[in-house]
Amino acid sequence: MKLEIRNLTKTFGGVRAIDDVSLDFPSGSLSAVIGPNGAGKSTFFNLISGAFPADTGQVLLDGDDVVRLSKTARMQRGIGRAFQVASCFPTMTVAENLTAAVTAHVGQWGNLSRRFPPPGVRERAGEVMELIGLSHVANVEAAILSHGDQKLLDIAIALALEPKVLLLDEPTAGMGPEERWRMIERVRGLWEQRKLTLIFIEHDMDIVFRIASTIRVLCYGRLLAEGTPEEIRNNQSVIDAYLGT
Ligand code: ADP
Ligand code: MG
């Protein structure tokens, strides 16, 4: 699914967190959004997912403007984002969390019984666990998972809702080097397998340069540059604003 952002703007008090940003994310693309702390990266995702209303601008999904829709409606249209860990059910197991997410997706919240999920739901939850590599902890409570596995569970819950566009805000935050690469390999695998339009925010430039086909740089809420890893690596204004140190 193609995502096009047109003249998106959001202010908080006097701060222009996102200032007239326009960007295209072609169907099936894998892009990174980078930039200094406070650049507006998370706000950009919040405006796309509908967590916050935009002041002005458009969010076009295959040409349809969804900017006035609620976040639930946008999710139903195919925009997914990894939930914060806090929004999974900590005392439920990985399998139960995913079963709940799939049940919600098939519109059967009223039927949210741990023991008797609607038909097919357990199988779908199992597929997602397999895909993301959490099958070995299927029966572990979410609260006691390792940090890396909790992040994977967040992504798995997002995937259970079958997004076409997936937004990942710093999926490797707080991970050691080895765990980081493991996460990124899985994310890349998902992207390939599900033909997702995937956009991720990431600080680790080795990861960004290695896996993103297009990189977008935000700075003070504005689009500072966009291009291939090669172009961004050699862009003087990006070096000055972000890469230089
Ligand atoms: P990044 O993710 O690039 O670090 P953010 O999008 O979190 O940046 O923040 C961009 C700017 O918007 C910052 O100045 C931040 O303080 C402000 N901001 C973000 N979210 C809110 C909010 N909910 N209320 C007020 N200000 C916010
Ligand atoms: Mg952020």
pLDDT score, position 17: 98
What is the residue-level pLDDT of the chain in tens, covering all 245 positions?
999 999 999 999 999 999 999 999 999 999 999 999 999 999 999 999 999 999 999 999 999 999 999 998 999 999 999 865 556 788 999 999 999 888 877 765 555 555 566 778 888 889 999 988 999 999 999 999 998 899 999 999 988 888 999 999 999 988 888 889 988 999 999 999 989 999 999 999 999 999 999 999 999 999 999 999 999 999 999 999 988 86
pLDDT score, position 161: 86
User: What's the CA-to-centroid distance between 241 and ligand 1, angstroms?
Assistant: 18
d(CA 26, CA 55): 24
Q: What residues form DSSP beta bridges with 223?
A: 218
pLDDT score, position 113: 54
User: What's the CA-to-centroid distance between 195 and ligand 2, angstroms?
Assistant: 25
pLDDT score, position 245: 63
- 163 close to ligand 1 (CB < 6 Angstrom): no
What pTM was computed for the model? Answer: 0.92
Reference 79, options 9, 167, 154, 152; nearest CA is 167
For ligand 1, atom 10, the nearest C-alpha belongs to: 40
User: What's the CA-to-centroid distance between 209 and ligand 1, angstroms?
Assistant: 25
Closest ligand 1 atom to residue 169 Cα is 2
User: What's the CA-to-centroid distance between 41 and ligand 1, angstroms?
Assistant: 8
Name the residue ranges covered by the structural domains of the chain: 1-78+163-245, 84-162
Which ranges in the chain belong to alpha helices (H)?
41-49, 71-77, 94-105, 121-132, 147-160, 177-194, 205-211, 229-233, 236-238
pLDDT score, position 87: 64
For ligand 1, atom 12, the nearest C-alpha belongs to: 17
CATH of domain 1-78+163-245: 3.40.50.300
d(CA 51, CA 72): 9
Please report the ipTM that was assigned to this predicted complex: 0.98
- 35 close to ligand 1 (CB < 6 Angstrom): yes
pLDDT score, position 116: 62
- Termini Cα distance of the chain: 37
Reference 239, options 169, 231, 208; nearest CA is 231
d(CA 219, CA 96): 40
d(CA 72, CA 79): 9
